[in-house]
Amino acid sequence: MDKETLTASIEAILLTANGPVAVSALVEALDEKDVGAEEVKNALTSMVVAWDRPESGIRLEQVADGWRCVTPPALDIYLRSYHGIAARQRLSQAALEVLAIVAHRQPVTLPEINFIRGANSASVVRTLLERKLLRMAGRKKVVGKPFLYRTSKEFLIHFGLERPEDLPDPEELVRDETISAD
């Protein structure tokens, strides 16, 4: 398969996919003898560079162990207008707090989340589960066997992360905030 056909095929797959597409899934879909993971990765890298222009309405982003097409944030207002979306659904302060706790301490139980927040978080956790930003990850082997919670693939996609380890370290954020306040 020539380079142009490879790039066009990958573009078509990514533009029509419902979510991030792993390199292995691209290789499998292309089903060519001379196209392996290395060739697909090289094509993706070329696409990232080609699409990273101010006048381009599409970007390529690596998230949740896969690749997806996204639009630049500056075009959000036009997309919302076209699709008839009045307002962005924002996460509440409580939801952001719970997500931060789970993301940095996962797996974590509801009692642990409540202790750290100093408030009952059961309804917030339930909402985050419904929105698929959190997932259950078993039960902790202690008295009462409370559920363990982790962030989900949808969480990674929502926040544009490739993996949970890409989150900033909370201690660094506090240190940076202290330095800028001085």
Single-letter amino acid, residue 14: L
106 assigned to some structural domain: yes
Looking at the structure, do residues 116 and 171 belong to the same domain, yes or no?
A: yes
Domain that holds residue 61: 3-81
pLDDT, residue 160, reads: 82
Tell me, yes or no, whether 68 and 37 share the same domain.
yes
In a domain, 87, yes or no: no
Q: Is the pLDDT reported for residue 93 higher than 70?
A: yes
Among 54, 81, 108, the domain boundary falls at 81
96: tokens are: 């952001």
Is residue 152 one of the residues assigned to a domain?
Answer: yes
Q: Residue 11: which pLDDT band, with cuts at 50, 70 and 90? A: very high
Q: Same domain for 22 and 72? A: yes
Mean pLDDT of 19-29: 93
Q: For residue 171, what pLDDT is reported?
A: 72
Looking at the structure, tell me whether residues 102 and 177 fall in a common domain: yes
Give the alpha-carbon dihedral of 172, 160, 111, 132, to 10 degrees.
180
Instruction: Assess if residue 99 is contained within a domain.
Output: yes
Which of these, 62, 65, 124, lies nearest to 99 by C-alpha position?
Answer: 124
The CATH number of the domain holding residue 67 is 1.10.10.10
- Evaluate whether residue 86 is within a structural domain: no
Length of the chain: 182
**Domain co-membership, 108 together with 169:** yes
Q: What is the largest CA-CA distance in the chain?
A: 61
- Whether residues 163 and 112 share a domain: the answer is yes
Whether residue 107 is found in the same domain as residue 177: yes
Angle at Cα 63 formed by Cα 108 and Cα 13, nearest 5°?
135
96-125 confidence digits (pLDDT tens): 999 999 999 999 999 999 999 999 999 999
**Count of domains in the chain?**
2
| Residues 97 and 76 both lie in one domain | no
CA 122/CA 138 separation, integer angstroms: 17
Please check the confidence at residue 155 and state whether its pLDDT lies above 70. Answer: yes
| pLDDT of amino acid 138 | 93
Residues 165, 118: one domain? yes
End of a domain among 22, 56, 81?
Answer: 81
* 88 domain-assigned: no
Could you give the percent of the chain with pLDDT greater than 90?
57
Residues 153 and 125 in one domain: yes
Cα–Cα distance, 101 to 105 (Å, whole number): 6
Helices (H), the chain: 3-16, 23-30, 37-51, 76-83, 93-105, 110-117, 122-130, 153-158, 170-181
